[in-house]
Amino acid sequence: MRVHIDVNGERLAADDVWEGESLLYVLRERLGLPGAKNACEQGECGSCTVYLDGLPVCACLVAAGQAEGREVVTVEGLASGDDLDQGLDEVQRAFVEAGAVQCGFCTPGLIVQAHSLIESTPQVPEDADIREALAGNLCRCTGYEKIIDAVRLAATRKAQNKAAQKKAPR
């Protein structure tokens, strides 16, 4: 079957999609977006986390046909433009700076999930809230401390940016 999905702001179509195929497979294998990772295919690891209509979900558990006509944002879509230094989202930048990336396999899912936490929390989240939000994202390398550092750093910067924007004269 053919499936149309708004991916990172662009209307894309995938052809020859098998009816039992996951959104993750379509993104990676048919639409050339390998950011979201495939590790468990059973919702346990969170490496495939993407936004579906604004909410983070495991792309491996969404049937491709269920994404028809809906909006998907992947880790690729959080960065803007081609300049990798300038274009990164604060969350992406913070993961690099805090040393929260080792093999990097879990990183795209963590970044989308952390991005959602930060966007939906007005204040800088407490560590307990960060742990709770990331409970469904597994990392085999880092031991999580630096990941939590990265989320705290990104949240702090985003809060500062927002405060600065408010203060700036129009």
Binding residues for ligand FAD (CB under 6 A): 42-44
DSSP state of 23: H
- Report the interface residues with ligand FES, using CB under 6 A: 38-41, 43-48, 58, 60, 101-106, 139-142
Which residue number, 3 or 60, has a Cβ lying nearer to ligand FES? 60
Q: Which residues bind another protein (CB under 8 A)?
A: 1, 18-20, 22, 41-44, 46, 49, 55-58, 60-63, 65-66, 68, 113, 116, 132-133, 135-137
User: In terms of Cα–Cα distance, which of 107, 119, 93 is closest to 48?
Assistant: 107
Nearer to ligand FAD, 42 or 123 (CB): 42
> CA–CA distance from 50 to each of 54, 75, 79, 85, 123 (Å)?
9, 7, 14, 22, 23
For residue 80, count other CB atoms closer than 10 A to its CB.
10
Shortest gap between Cβ of 149 and another protein (angstroms)?
A: 20
